[in-house]
Amino acid sequence: MSVLASCLVIAAVALTAIARPGRGRRVHQLRQEVVGADDAVAAFELVVGDIRSGASLHAAVVDALHRHREVLPWLREALDRGDPLEVALTREPAHEVDANRSEDDWFAHGLSLCGITNGTGAEVLDRAVASARERRAWRAERRAQAAQALLSARLLTALPLGFSAWGVLTSSSVRAAFRDTPLTAICLAVGLS
């Protein structure tokens, strides 16, 4: 019976080693990322709608940034101080260059392009919104594929452990192999490691 108990302890240790610590924190972080992305897209869809209804780019941006306070807070503060939009966009805080620019950076770049295009701001921001939605869909697809691969790896790791434990619990010949042959215990230890 001590062999059975040791096998169950080894299986329990292996299964807890498979579980990933900090998983709840990562899920919360992903949820926050998606919420922030929705807010940035919603803010700039609001800007596009205001521009198309006749508002100036400056007024539309100020209104959208006051409704969505978490989007581009540095720009909102600069505009509240009375800076023109073109000047406020040049005062973007420095940060590391990232290949996957955040939604906020993406839209700040879109706003600076609006100043260059003279009057086609709605079209530029519309394309930025469409690109942001597409990038977000790609990220979600990559996460789904990675989650599927991770689940498959965990399942393929846990399945042999489950069958081993089941064999020890239900078969006297398996228990006898563990009890009588040290090679079986060695193979189990190598497999678990």
| Residues 158-189: tens digit of each pLDDT | 888 888 888 888 988 888 888 888 888 788 78
Handedness of CA 89, 93, 94, 96 (dihedral sign): negative
Question: Span 40-48, mean pLDDT?
Answer: 88
Name which residue leads in pLDDT, 68 or 191: 68
Q: How far apart are CA 158 and CA 18, in angstroms?
A: 8
CB atoms within 10 A of CB 118: 7
Q: Is the pLDDT of residue 25 over 60?
A: no
| Residues 82-125: tens digit of each pLDDT | 988 888 888 777 655 454 457 777 788 888 888 776 656 788 88
pLDDT at 89: 85
Q: Is the pLDDT of residue 3 over 90?
A: no
pTM: 0.56
Judged on CB neighbours under 10 Å (0-12, 13-18, 19+), 31 is exposed
User: What residues contact 18, with CB distance under 8 A and at least 6 apart?
Assistant: 154, 157, 158
Structure-token pair, residue 154: 């965990």
| Residues 119-145: tens digit of each pLDDT | 567 888 888 888 888 988 998 999 999
Name which residue leads in pLDDT, 14 or 67: 67
pLDDT band per the 50, 70, 90 thresholds, residue 32: very low
pLDDT band per the 50, 70, 90 thresholds, residue 36: very low
